[in-house]
Every structure is written in structure tokens, then in C-alpha cells.
Structure 1
Amino acid sequence: MITVLQIGNNNWAEQVDALPQDMQWHFCRPNEIVSFLEALKQAERAKIMVASEERDEPKIRIRFNAILLTETIDESLLEPLDSTIEAYGLYHDKGLFIRDMSPTGIFRRKCLRELPIDGDISQKIKYLSQVLFDSQYGAKLKIPDIDVNPNFQGNIHFDGHVGMTASGYFGENFEQLFTFRYNLSTFPVALEIWQEYVKKSGTCDLQLRIFPIRAGSLYDLQAPIILTEADMQEPYVIPVENEKISFYTVSIYAKGEGEVTFGPLHWRYSRIGLGRFVLGGERHSDGKRQEVITYFNPGDMKPPLTVYFSGYRSAEGFEGYGIMKSLKTPFMLIGDPRLEGGGFYIGTPELEQTIVAAIQEALDYLGFSSSDLILSGLSMGTYGALYYAAHFNPYAVVVGKPFTNLGDTVKGMKLLRPDEFETSADVLLNATGGTSPANIDNLNKKFWEKFTTSDFSDTHFAIAYMEQDDYDRSATERLIHHLSQRNVHIYAKGYEGRHNDNSHSIKKWFMKQYVDLLGEGYERRGR
């Protein structure tokens, strides 16, 4: 159920024939917020006591997916509603004049935004019903699932999950170059798609064609959606279709001559202008059309800013929202949807700079310096936390099961971990352009050339590691050896087992370090 509270003088729900299914609409006037909230709590309390038949006074928590302002209002009147919405849950109607925001008021804490849609009231309500869903999901159509047109006479080369390169003459007119073996399903929400590709040479032109398939049929293709290269400069949103469409088949068409490397096609539930994956989520891409994603929550706008780099995950989206929100600080989530489950947050200088810029933008929004920053991550996320710590010199770094020498992880594939975590070879190829011993050495050097640029004189390091880690066996030893020569505060704890043998204890330790750091450094006691 999507629940919306409108605050204004005229109730939008009374001006439409019917609300969308599964939408609950509340309305109150600006000067009635306190009485409205109390009445709503009383009603919820009564329902719970009747259902449970208990005499104890139940705790009531009122939640809205969004609060929509349709009249100008002093933000102080909204303070009683602070706990009823998450960040990015506060909107105002398009064209509405909003008074100056106070530095730490609810408008900034909840990231007040304008509703990005024109049209009549019914269209705006329908839009809200399509973008305020609770879940997030994304995945990809992968490189190994590409079927090349057998009539193509040029050269084809596959590089694991990194890319497929096609070179040669594609035809005078647009001809199908390849199709993805698996189709996209339709969903009750809009889908957003993004195709990775890099033109390496030549004058070829590309099209991405999406063929809707009629429900109940495997071959009844409808007229295609044709995206030119100009159309593909931003993610394309496939709107919610009618019930007659059940799947989409996706193909790349090309003409002319040249060499092009194609990466996976990413797809995800779309917020249609209100964020990527989640409300307020952002994506950042480089010249290779590879992405990283970030989400910033201002929290209470009091130090520190805590940043969590996601671990390896094949599903695309943000990880760690619950644990970071439980700390009750401003926080940022950073994800890496590349390759099979992540590219360890390294890539082109352009891509790496977007991560630095996103963290710095959050610090600037809060008015913090990097001394009020904690970077953290588990497994793959440790590489990101450690790598970017060299740029920021944060207050603390909290990592569990760290990586430093990714090249050594690749070398371990043959004997140490046969047939396991083969995606590390994709990371090597994507980051260095090859898989030779020289590329392996260069990947190892990439971390240390970055990490050694800082002395970390004011940074606390908390490191948990697996004593028989089979991914990067010497990461913690190398870190301690390097940091101990600089009088850095280090706390390290080892656990019996290989890399993935005791994740529960690592996560429990991870949260304890956060609680201790917040208590000792910022007098934030308890969660």
C-alpha cells in the first residue's frame, strides 16, 4: 500500500474519479498538522487494540511513502512529521514557491524536491502511484548470453563478463548484430535500461531495438522501440505496459564499418525521475558507459558522515540501508553494478573521480570536513573504503575481510581457489586491459600507489580478517605493516576460517566497531 499525505487547501483526492489501486490518500491543511497526526494515531491505536485484544497501550508508528505540499508552508509546521517519512519523501507541487530553508530544518533533512511532472491532478496522482513503491531491484542481460547473428561475417571476441567485441563491416543498412538470449519481463512498474558499449574505431552506427512480445505467445513480436545512439546517452525508461505485453526481446543493430565493444545491458525498476533504485539514489557513468551508484541520507545532519561500500552482489541495487540507518547518523551507500557482481570501485580516472565527488558533495551539504567522515565496507567493499581513504584522510576506516592485492586474488584461481570467484579475472581485465603477469602486478600496484599517498596521521583503522582467507591471504598483514610505520591507531581481530566461512561474526564485529567509534569520538551512545 502506497500512503501519501497531502498538505494544502484543496484535497486532490476529491478532484479525481478514483485513486489508483493500492494507494491510500490523507489530507490536512497546514494549520491542522498536529491535530491530524494525533487523530491518525488514535485511529491506528484503536485498530491495533481491537485486533490484538490486548489492554497494553501499543506503540504507534505512522509512516508515509511521501508528503506532498500543495501550498506554501513554513517548514517549522512540518517538524512533527519528521519521523513519518524517510529522506527524499518530501515533495512540493511544480511551480510552488518555497520559502528559504533553515540550515538543519526538515526541508534539508528530508531533501525537499519539486514533483517533476506537469499535467492535471489525476496524472500527478498516477505518477506518484508508479514511483513510490517500496522495493528496489536491478539485474543485467549478460555477455555470455549474447547470441551473434550467424550471418555476420566480421570478427567476434568474448572477454568473460567484461565485454564482447565485434569488428568488421556491419552492412549498408541497419542489420541485427546480436540479440540477448533471455528476454526482459514486464513488471507493474516502469523499467530503466542502460547498454554499455564503447566505439573503438570506424564510422559505424548503432541502434538498440526492444521488441514487445504479446502475452501468451513466444513469437508474436510487436512494433519495436528503436533507440538511436542519441537516445542512449541517458538510461531509457520503458513505461508500464498494458496487460497484452508479457516480455521484451532486446537486440543490437549496426551499420557501417568499425570496432565496438559491448558490455552487459543493465535493467532496473525505474523511479521515473525521483531516483535510481531508491528515492534519491543516483548513478554516475564514465566514457566507457560503466556505472557506480550512490545514495546519500542527511540523517540528523550531525557528525559524522558514515559511508558504506557494498560487497560483491549479482543483483543490482543498494546494500546496507538498514544497518547504516540504525546508526542514526548521516550516511551514504555506494554500489558497483559492473561486471558479474562488482568491479571493486576502480576504473577510469573519470569513474573514480565521480566517487570522490559524491562523497565530497555529501560532506559539503552537511558542512563537514573529511575529519568527520568514516569509510567502511565488507569484502569487496573494503577495497573501496581503503582506496578512497587515501584521498580523504577520514576519522576512521572500518573494514571486514579486506582486499589490497587484487592481482594476487587472480593468481590464486588456479591452485588456491579453483573454479571459485573467477570474476576476479574480469576485474583484472576491466581495470588493466589484460591478464598477463604484468597486468597482475599493475593491479596490485594500483592499490598501493593510491594508499601510500596519505600518512593517515589522524585516522583510526578497525580491521577484521579471516585467518585462512583464500581470496587475499596477506591483506591484513600488509596493511598493518604499512600503517604501523606511521603511528596509526589500528585495531585488528582475526577469525578462524576462509573468506566466506564466518560472515555472521564479521558483521557483528563490524557494527560493534561503529558503535564504539561513534560513542568515543562523537558521544553518540547506543543505537
Structure 2
Amino acid sequence: MADISVLQIGATDWTPQIKTTKIDWQYTTILDLPTRLALQKDPYILEQTYVVLTDNTLESLLLSSQISDWPALRTLYFAQNITPEFQAVLDERRAFRLPDQTPSAVAARILTDFQFEQIGFPTRFSETQFVPMPPQGTHFERQGRFSAQFHGDFGPKWQQIGVLKTFATDFSATAENVVWLDYEQSGTAEVQLQFVFYRDGQIQTRQTITGEALRQLTTVGGLQDYQDYQILVAARGRGELDLHVLHQRRSRHGFGVLMPGDDWQLTAENEEILSYFNPGDRKAPLIVNFSGIRLHVDGFEMRGPLRELGTPHLLFADMRTQGGAFQIGTERYEATIIATIRRAMATLDLKPEDVILTGYSMGSFPAMYYAADIKPHAVVAAKPIVNLGTLTASSDFPHGYNQDWTLDVRRYLAGRMSPDDTAPLNRIFWEHIQNVDWGKIQVALLSMTDDEYDGQSLSELLGFFQSRDTPLNHQQEQGNHTAKIPEMVQFMMTNLKQLRDDMRREGQ
């Protein structure tokens, strides 16, 4: 069975030239398109994964109208002669302009860059993944598993300070990864990464990254037949290097990072923000979803259910520290999150009362937190975590569950590890949400009876909503924090569908 299906629309049929069995390639002319759609089980849907427009001139009102009716982020084209009206439709539907114009090149591009699978992972400077080799005259220490710190004089020439452990399967044959390094530096200290690829026990090639390229999505890999690789870490200069995470993602060559069409931002404080905006059917509500913790692989969550719902949606993923820091941070970081939401609202000409914020577990925190800034119509949250000080103060929790990410979150948000920070970290949430009229925000909340993450805060949260006359739909399920995931998703989608239908009836 083919991995992907394509409907080619153009004057010349490319089907005989498509040599791969991984694409189910189908063809129609513009004039035959209405007849083809009429023969479908549902003539109003796009049955294929992508539409590829292969004419050099795009001016057909029939075709542009059909593309306008189809889902966003599903059209590929390379034409240069396009009427302004047609281009406006392509831009609104967030179509992708390809640099390729031949059947083989377009097919290869689709298989390389337009798969929906999210491929990204962290290589951390932890005791299990990083072997430090402190040079003479330097000092090395760890703080949690997120911070590997070197201090001292590394000398004027590059010298190795450690090696990152890797797995051969981190790269696929012929595929490229994009990488960027989350780290801090002071003084004249600099860091360098050297990717060394091996074949038959011999070095096949070296790829070196240093300077500004470390804070950009820099391409590595793309070899035909490597067998293994390792990452050498080097330094020079004098000062401090604080090494956190090396992020590696499958390259989409400028068409996205984790998904086709997503957006990657890096703030001035080097905090990463990943988002994915799909304008859907252009009508309210805009659903903004915040992902939960991602300890091992990168990715957006709820993309399948929200795509099926059909409404506009904006997804956020947090890959800082070991798997997320509750989508909060510096003032500039939070301002960027808010600006990204408002930009999606402006694109659709929507108002705050047209927005729903949603998330579960770690994602529940920003869903409720940013309600203070967006003032949405509703919040849909599950398995809430709100008291970050209490959560990250427990010494038993990270050891009992082998999830010491809580300790790194504490250090990341407080800048240190001190018991004095428990109360201030707890206040982050409550102080931010108190100056909002929660009587105008509908809240759907699912909680667990034996939530070992932050279950102690539930009564405090319910009391807060009661004191603010919040319209609240609260459902509780039996089990601990990680239990009843299907029931949780069903709860969220049921409430989102009901809110969507109610909002659209009221808007008529």
C-alpha cells in the first residue's frame, strides 16, 4: 500500500513517469475535475493526501475555487505565472511552492519533505548520553540532567571536552537532519560540534558546526551508506559553557520542522517555540492546543482529532529542558506565545471570544495560564497541573517514576535548586490568572481521583473557579495521572465539538 496519495491536476499526465510505489499517483485535467469529484462517495472532500498543480500558468477560476474549498496545507505547486486572485487562494490555503518541476523531482520531494510523521528527538547532556572530558585547567559539574557546565580556560585552539552518545538509527540512509544546540556561554568561551560518520570502522566524513550555526537549524547527514556516527564536543577560549540539549529533527528542507508548514522561532534568550497553524474551515472557533510532556521524541499533540474536527487550530509543542517547561518562561518568551496566537486570530479575523484554549497534563497549565492574556470563550483542560513549586519540590516523585524532569523544570524556572522557591513557583499560576473575569470563560475540566502529579491542587483549583462564578463542567475519572487516556481524549473532543456547535449557532 502506498504511503501517500496524490491528485495531479494539469495538462500533461505525469503518471507514466512516477516510478515509485510509495505514492498512489492519480491524474485529472482541470476540465475533468468536476466529473471526477462527482463520482466520489463524497464530492466535497479531498480524498488524496496532496494536490499537485503541474501547469506553468494558474488562472482557472474553477480550479482556484475548488482549492479554496479543500483543506489547507495540502496543495503543492511550482508555477510562476499566477493571477493575483489565484495566488491569494494559494496563500490563504497555505499551499507550498516547490523548487522542483519534473515528475521525478516532485515525487522525491513529496516523499522526503511532506510525510506527516513527526521525526525529532533530543540528545541531552545527561550522565547517560554525555561523557565529559574536562581539559586541564577547567572544572566540570552537573546541575540536574539538563545542565552540564564547564568553567575555565580552554585555550586558544579547539580541544575536545566530551562526546555525545548516539544511535546509528538517529539518521536514515540518505536523509538529512537539522540540528541546533541549546546552550549558554560567557566570556570568550566557544563550543563546537563535530559529527563523525563511520563506514566499515573507518571515518567516512566529518561535519563541523560552530558559532551562529549552532543556534540555527543547520543541516547534517545525508550520506548514502554510513553505518554509525558520534558527536564530538570541543571548546576554546575562556569562560563558562552550560550545555543543555542538542535537538535533532529530520530535515524538511525549509517546508517545516516537525510537520509540513509548522513554524520554528527562537527568542533573543534562545528559547525555542514550535507552533503549527491550520486555518481549517476559516470559521470560529480557533482551538489553541498546548502539548504535554515529550520526554523521548518531539511532536505536536491532538493534531489528528483537531484536523478531523475541521475548525482552525494552532498547536504548540515545548521541547525545552527534558521535555517541556509548561510553555512559560521569560517575558519575551511568553509575549511570543501570545503574539503567535493573536497572529492566527488576525489571519482569520477572529476576536478573543472566538478562541478556545486547550491542553492536558503539562499542556493544561498554559491552557489556563494564557486565558489571562487572550480572554478566550472557553478552556478545555484535563489532568491539571498548576502548582509548579509543589510538583517540583517532591524528591520522591522523580525517583519513583524515573522522570527527574521535574527537577530540571524547577532549576529552569527558578534559576537554582532551593526549597525557598516552592511558594514563588506556586504563585506563578495563581497571580497570573486572578485578574480575569472567569465568569465569562466556560471551563471543561477532567481530573483523576489518584493524580500523583499535582492532584493536591485540585480542590484549590475548583475553589478558585467557584469563587469566580466560572461556568464549569467538571468530570472525574478513576485512576492515576497516566490512566484513562482514551477517556480523556473523548472528554476533550466531546466538549470541543459541543462548544464549536454552540458558538456557531450563536454566531448565525
Given the two structures, how large is their TM-score scaled by the length of structure 1?
A: 0.86
Contact map agreement 1:183 1:250 (CA 8 A) in 2? no
In the alignment, what sits opposite 1:474? 456
In the alignment, what sits opposite 2:250? 269
Q: How does 1:36-185 map to 2 (within 5 A)?
A: 36-37=36-37, 62-70=47-55, 71-80=57-66, 86-93=71-78, 95-100=80-85, 107=90, 110-115=93-98, 117=99, 123-144=105-126, 145-149=129-133, 151-183=135-167, 185=169
In the alignment, what sits opposite 2:310? 328
Relative distance call for 1:60 and 1:385 in structure 2 (3 A) is: closer
Q: How big is the shift at 1:385?
A: 0.2
Q: How big is the shift at 1:147?
A: 0.9
For 1:100, the aligned partner's letter is E
1:506 lines up with 2:491 in the alignment: no
Q: Which runs of 4+ in 1 moved over 6 A?
A: 118-121
Contact map agreement 1:158 1:164 (CA 8 A) in 2? yes
Contact map agreement 1:339 1:426 (CA 8 A) in 2? yes
1:191 lines up with 2:172 in the alignment: no
1:8 lines up with 2:49 in the alignment: no
Contact map agreement 1:205 1:254 (CA 8 A) in 2? yes
Q: How big is the shift at 1:175?
A: 1.2
Q: Which moved more, 1:233-242 or 1:290-299?
A: 233-242
For 1:198, the aligned partner's letter is E
In the alignment, what sits opposite 1:368? 350
1:391 lines up with 2:373 in the alignment: yes
Alpha-carbon distance between aligned partners in 1 of 2:45 and 2:480, rounded to the nearest angstrom: 44
Contact map agreement 2:195 2:232 (CA 8 A) in 1? yes
Alpha-carbon distance between aligned partners in 2 of 1:75 and 1:350, rounded to the nearest angstrom: 44
1:444 lines up with 2:423 in the alignment: no
For 2:410, the aligned partner's letter is L
Alpha-carbon distance between aligned partners in 1 of 2:388 and 2:472, rounded to the nearest angstrom: 22
For 1:64, the aligned partner's letter is T
For 1:74, the aligned partner's letter is S
Alpha-carbon distance between aligned partners in 1 of 2:101 and 2:54, rounded to the nearest angstrom: 16
Alpha-carbon distance between aligned partners in 1 of 2:346 and 2:24, rounded to the nearest angstrom: 37
Alpha-carbon distance between aligned partners in 1 of 2:92 and 2:36, rounded to the nearest angstrom: 22
Q: Deviations over 1:272-330 (max 9, x none)?
A: 11112111111222244332311111111111011111112221011111221232211
Relative distance call for 1:225 and 1:89 in structure 2 (3 A) is: same
Alpha-carbon distance between aligned partners in 1 of 2:151 and 2:38, rounded to the nearest angstrom: 67
Relative distance call for 1:131 and 1:424 in structure 2 (3 A) is: same
Alpha-carbon distance between aligned partners in 2 of 1:163 and 1:393, rounded to the nearest angstrom: 36
Alpha-carbon distance between aligned partners in 1 of 2:322 and 2:300, rounded to the nearest angstrom: 15
Relative distance call for 1:212 and 1:362 in structure 2 (3 A) is: same
Relative distance call for 1:129 and 1:509 in structure 2 (3 A) is: closer
Relative distance call for 1:12 and 1:503 in structure 2 (3 A) is: closer
Q: How big is the shift at 1:80?
A: 4.4
- Give the percent of matched residue pairs that are identical in Structure 1 and Structure 2: 26
Secondary structure of 1:307's partner?
A: strand
Relative distance call for 1:126 and 1:471 in structure 2 (3 A) is: closer
For 2:96, the aligned partner's letter is R
Relative distance call for 1:515 and 1:62 in structure 2 (3 A) is: closer
Relative distance call for 1:356 and 1:510 in structure 2 (3 A) is: same
Secondary structure of 2:163's partner?
A: strand
1:205 lines up with 2:190 in the alignment: yes
Secondary structure of 1:222's partner?
A: strand
Q: Deviations over 1:341-386 (max 9, x none)?
A: 2211112222222211211111111110111000011111100101
For structure 1, the residue ranges without an aligned partner over 5 or more in a row are: 46-56
Relative distance call for 1:23 and 1:127 in structure 2 (3 A) is: same
Alpha-carbon distance between aligned partners in 2 of 1:98 and 1:235, rounded to the nearest angstrom: 34
What do you get for the CA RMSD once the two structures are aligned? 2.9
Instruction: Choose the corresponding residue for 1:357, options 310, 329, 339.
Output: 339
Q: How big is the shift at 1:122?
A: 5.0
Q: Which moved more, 1:66-75 or 1:252-261?
A: 66-75
Q: How big is the shift at 1:432?
A: 1.1
1:306 lines up with 2:306 in the alignment: no
Alpha-carbon distance between aligned partners in 2 of 1:170 and 1:422, rounded to the nearest angstrom: 31
Q: How big is the shift at 1:239?
A: 5.1
Instruction: Choose the corresponding residue for 2:220, options 213, 238, 252.
Output: 238
Secondary structure of 1:221's partner?
A: strand
Alpha-carbon distance between aligned partners in 2 of 1:507 and 1:191, rounded to the nearest angstrom: 32
Contact map agreement 1:74 1:99 (CA 8 A) in 2? no
Aligned residues: 497
Relative distance call for 1:504 and 1:127 in structure 2 (3 A) is: closer
Contact map agreement 1:467 1:496 (CA 8 A) in 2? yes
In the alignment, what sits opposite 1:53? none
Relative distance call for 1:184 and 1:168 in structure 2 (3 A) is: farther
Given the two structures, how large is their TM-score scaled by the length of structure 2?
A: 0.89
Alpha-carbon distance between aligned partners in 2 of 1:66 and 1:279, rounded to the nearest angstrom: 14
Alpha-carbon distance between aligned partners in 1 of 2:292 and 2:38, rounded to the nearest angstrom: 42
Secondary structure of 2:339's partner?
A: helix
Q: How big is the shift at 1:431?
A: 1.0
